[in-house]
Structure 1
Amino acid sequence: MDSGDGKTAVTVHPAIEGLSYLLGTWKGVGEGGFPTISAFTYGEQLTFTHPGNKPVIAYSQKTWKISSGEPMHSESGFWRPKPDGTIEVVIAQSTGLVEVQKGTYDAEKKEVKLVSELVGNASKVKEITRVFTLIDDELSYVVEMATNLTSRQPHLKASLKKL
């Protein structure tokens, strides 16, 4: 189906309509830190894609050093929203760590809240939370983490604009 602008319109599966605002590529800058590491900044790109015929969103993320463009971290996975406002997310990180998260999404507030059910292949990380919010065309997120040495604390935050 042609949307009139030369691009082919993708039919969105009804199960992901409430998160369709995420679809596309987002780019921006983030900040990180934790009691056990020095503070840092990074460039970031998030991409959310949808095959149209499945109730799932594919997710990929990559970060780089702002000063040199050198790659830092990457991860990918799948987001499975449910009609009742709950969501299941699986993420594989380039570090070998795997997250299984569950949470909620609010289509009106354009907010997704995730809490880890499982953090696999991690000797130190015990819990990860992620909160994504879209306000005035800016997608922001906060990641908090708990380890075997620390309680849950802020780890990453970023603000991204859709390309």
Structure 2
Amino acid sequence: MSDNNAAEIPSLSGNEAVNLAAEQSKNTAQRNIPGLGDLPIPDDTANLRHGPNLHDGLLALLPLVGVWRGEGQAATLDGGEYNFGQQITFAHDGENYLTYESRVWKLDSAGEPAELDHRETGFWRIDLKDNIEVIITHSTGVVEIFYGHLLNERAWQLQAASTMVTETGPATLGPGKRLYGLMPNNHLGWVDERMVNGESVPRMSAELTRVIG
């Protein structure tokens, strides 16, 4: 993935983005992820209108906060393909990091859920120079550290600096690159590419709609 991929996620003007977000939030603004409500510390929130204030250090990641759901396409390590459904949650508790969770399920030929696929969980951090650090753990037995940067105020690019696989994990999974960005319709688009035989090839991509936040 090169910086040319930024063209895949065009940006809106500031006013256009604000107006579109306000219109779409009519259906999502009052929803939030569940919390027990009895912890002596703040619950996680995926809605900027509820819970603790977002840490000032996370302003460059603010557009990601929410719950996103939609569909995408994936390539298998043996050359096959399948369609999937996905939910991504970016949440915070007032501290200087975002929590990240992804759940993926395979779809059948009719577009209906067929079986569970993999899950990911991790943390996104960003420093004062807008350098991004991401730690992601996969349910398949993979732990990755990504570093990245902002392409613009609505797009974020990451590259794996370390990919570790357990004994039972996917041994042929190469280092990854990811691009996340808000599309002109304010949906969240993302692409994962992997090194295969010395070449970076698409592995997964999806377009997700905000359902909370």
The TM-score range, normalised by the shorter chain, is 0.7 to 0.9
Structure 2 residue aligned with 1:151: 199
Q: Give the partner amino acid of 2:70.
A: G
Of the three residues 6, 22, 27, the one matched with 2:69 is 27
Partner Cα distance (2:177, 2:60) in 1: 21
RMSD: 1.9
- The residue type paired with residue 51 of structure 1 is D
The gaps in structure 2 that reach 5 residues or longer are 1-29, 32-48
Residues matched between the structures, number:
156
Task: Give secondary structure in 2 for the equivalent of 1:142.
Answer: strand
* Higher relative strand content: 1
Residue 137, structure 1, aligned to residue 186, structure 2: yes
Determine what percentage of the aligned residue pairs are the same residue.
Answer: 28
Q: Looking at CA atoms only, which structure, 1 or 2, has the larger radius of gyration?
A: 2
Structure 2 residue corresponding to 1:76, chosen from 121, 124, 128: 121
> How far does residue 124 in structure 1 lie from its aligned partner after superposition?
2.0
> Is 2:157 the partner of 1:113?
yes
TM norm structure 2? 0.68
| Contact 1:60 1:74 (C-alpha < 8 Å) held by counterparts | yes
Which stretches in structure 1 are left out of the alignment for 5+ residues?
none
Partners of 2:128 and 2:151 lie apart in 1 by 11
Greater helix share, structure number? 2
* Cα distance in 2, alignment partners of residues 11 and 23 from structure 1: 12
1:72-130 deviation line (CA, Å, top 9, x unaligned): 1100000001121110000000001111000102452x111000000002632231000
Q: Does the aligned pair in 2 maintain the 1:25–1:162 contact within 8 Å?
A: yes
State the match for 1:55 in structure 2: 96
Name which of structure 1's ranges 28-37 and 58-67 shifts more when overlaid on structure 2. 28-37
CA distance in 2 between counterparts of 1:23 and 1:129 reads 21
| TM-score, with length taken from structure 1 | 0.88
